[in-house]
Chain A
Amino acid sequence: MNRKAFLNLAMGAGAAGFMGSMFYPVLRFLLPAEQTEAEPDILKVGSVADFADGFSKILKFGRSPVIVIRDLKGGFHALNATCTHLDCIVQYKKDEDLILCACHNGKYDLSGKNISGPPPRPLERYEVKVQGTDVLVFRKPA
């Protein structure tokens, strides 16, 4: 084999290898991943039937936990479930119809307002929408 042929072969092999190392990531990128699409910033919490009056549920909404409550009158509420005092997770007290943080007895009303105990700030509120039979939680657009 002469020098020219060798160089052409080397260039061809290099180009083939290069194509391979470029197309492999691209192909892997295009093949559907385990989770096939991004979860939008709207959380489907469940169906209306799951929520009896006085029922509450804590779920992850984006990076933060959210507490979804159906109060005794049938109204829906969704709030950030992280207590504003020391970051414990709050709970719905059905008998008092308010939100309690068991760590230091901090209390919030259903609008998230801190009403007694240590919490320095209200809980952040989210919007709840009932669409058909689905209960959806989303951030209020600014």
Chain B
Amino acid sequence: MSLLLALALLAAPAGADTCVKCHSTLEDKHALILRSFSRDIHKEKGLTCVSCHGGDSAKEDMSEAMDPEKGYVGVPSPAQVPEFCGKCHSSPAYMRRFNPSLPTDQQAKYRTSTHGIRLQAGDEVVATCASCHPAHSIRPAKDPTSSVYVKNVAETCARCHADTKKMAPYGIAVTQAADYRASVHGKALLERGDTSAPTCNTCHGNHGAVPPGVASIGMVCGSCHVGNMEFFKASPMAGPWERRGFHACATCHTAHGVQKPTSALLAGSGALCARCHKPGSKPLAVAASMKGGLDGLKAAYDGAEGSVRQAEEKGMDMAEARDALDGARMSMFQARTAVHAFSAEAVAKISEEGKGSADKASLAAREAVKDFRNRRLGLGLSTFVIAFLAGAVYLKVRELEEKD
């Protein structure tokens, strides 16, 4: 097969491509294909129409040029697409010539995906290669204009998954994309431009897209949130949750709409822990204690930060207080992570450490403000002394001049 394609490629003399010659005279749709193909990665790599569609672009005669005998394939049906692209993309020997590091397992993965399984069962509505990589205008994933560039993935998936009509027959929700955009991950990627933040395929895979199962969701989240996952796995919650089929992370944080967590998740009205644990139970006491630790640290940090800023506005050098504040901020991260151990002691220990740093900063800020007041007082005193002396000198001069 690849040999045939290579021959076809060689057989087409440059500038004598009869596909282009004829199709450019046809109506808009064909012209558009030619125009968009000029920026397609395949064109950039030297491929032409016949590379994918077969036939013979050297022949003037249409029936000869588009002869199925010569391997001509017109528009492939959705069911044919994976095979159509896989001709080349599943062939390591062929792909090596263009990009040796590009994987060649997309077709195999696709077959295991929910999309692929449905396609093989005869459902031609599901996504195939061309649904995400639009034919004739394919750009590599690293190109910001590509439909599969990390910042564009959510939009590409949402073209179908946010479409009520398309999703109705499958009974799948359509809110994931909107939830994701409003989530801490979506905001990091789309608003702050942190391209390391996860998008759809980070958790679901791309060519092998499936909903991650209960067992794997902890792994999926834990591939970035290592500390949280390790704490959780070692916590008393891990075993019982697994047995009951609760998602390790999504049960509290939701899947697509993950928000920046607050201590309110632990205790008080609307707390998540109270959904399962009975009022007055020991676990709720632990949750309340953890909330107390986090809130205490946050209050100490905010208070210290305010005092330090105040001192800085007065022009005092607060570099060391800022260092202590940085320490308190790190403790805040660590204490929030330690919540996943569901141990009151673990959170309390880190919170106390953090509070110690915040108190150090507060103290430094108070000292600085006091110092600032002393400076003004000192200036006031010396101004008085100087004014007195200047006045005395002036009177002395006057006295001297009167004498003259």
Contacts and interface: CB of A to CB of B under 8 A. Distances in A.
Let me know if chains A and B touch directly in the complex, using CB atoms closer than 8 Å: yes
26 contacts: A4-B399, A7-B392, A7-B399, A10-B388, A10-B392, A10-B395, A11-B389, A13-B388, A14-B388, A15-B389, A18-B386, A20-B385, A21-B385, A65-B326, A85-B194, A85-B196, A88-B330, A102-B226, A102-B227, A103-B227, A104-B196, A105-B224, A105-B225, A105-B226, A118-B197, A119-B196
B299 to A, nearest CB: 22
A136 B393 CA distance: 59
B224 A104 contact: yes
A139 interface: no
B323 A118 contact: no
A129 interface: no
Size category of the B interface is: 20 to 34
A74 interface: no
Interface string B241-277: 0000000000000000000000000000000000000
A3 interface: yes
Interface of B: 194, 196-197, 223-227, 319, 323, 326, 330, 333, 337, 378, 381-382, 385-386, 388-393, 395-396, 399
A98 interface: no
A28 B337 CA distance: 48
Given A14-B388, A21-B382, A85-B196, A118 B319 contact: no
A3 B402 CA distance: 12
A46 interface: no
B194 A17 contact: no
Interface of A: 3-4, 7-8, 10-11, 13-15, 17-18, 20-21, 25, 60, 63, 65, 85, 88-89, 100, 102-105, 117-120
Most buried by B among A18, A85, A100, A104: A104
Contacts of A104: 196, 224-225
A105 B333 CA distance: 14
Most buried by B among A14, A60, A105, A117: A14
Given A10-B395, A103-B333, A118-B197, A18 B389 contact: yes
Given A21-B381, A104-B225, A118-B224, A11 B392 contact: yes
Nearest to B197: A118
Nearest to A8: B396
Contact of B389 (A14, A85, A105, A118): A14
B389 A102 contact: no
Contacts of B399: 3-4, 7
B196 A63 contact: no
B172 to A, nearest CB: 29
Contacts of B323: 60, 63
B319 A63 contact: yes
Contacts of B226: 100, 102, 105
B392 A117 contact: no
Smallest CB-CB A-B distances: 6 pairs = A118-B196, A14-B389, A10-B392, A102-B227, A17-B385, A21-B382
Contacts of B386: 18, 21
Contacts of A100: 226
Contacts of A119: 196
Contacts of A14: 385, 388-393
A17 B389 contact: yes
A117 B333 contact: no
Contacts of B391: 10, 14
A99 to B, nearest CB: 13
Contacts of A25: 378
Contacts of B227: 102-103
Contacts of B224: 104-105, 117-118
A7 B381 CA distance: 21
A88 B227 CA distance: 13
B295 to A, nearest CB: 21
Given A7-B399, A118-B224, A17 B196 contact: no
Contacts of B390: 14
B192 to A, nearest CB: 10
B333 A17 contact: no
Nearest to B399: A7
A18 B392 CA distance: 12
Contacts of B319: 63
B118 to A, nearest CB: 33
Contacts of A17: 385, 388-389
B170 to A, nearest CB: 33
B318 to A, nearest CB: 12
Contacts of B378: 25
A102 B337 contact: yes
Contacts of B225: 104-105
A132 B279 CA distance: 63
A105 B196 contact: no
A16 B223 CA distance: 74
A88 B386 CA distance: 52
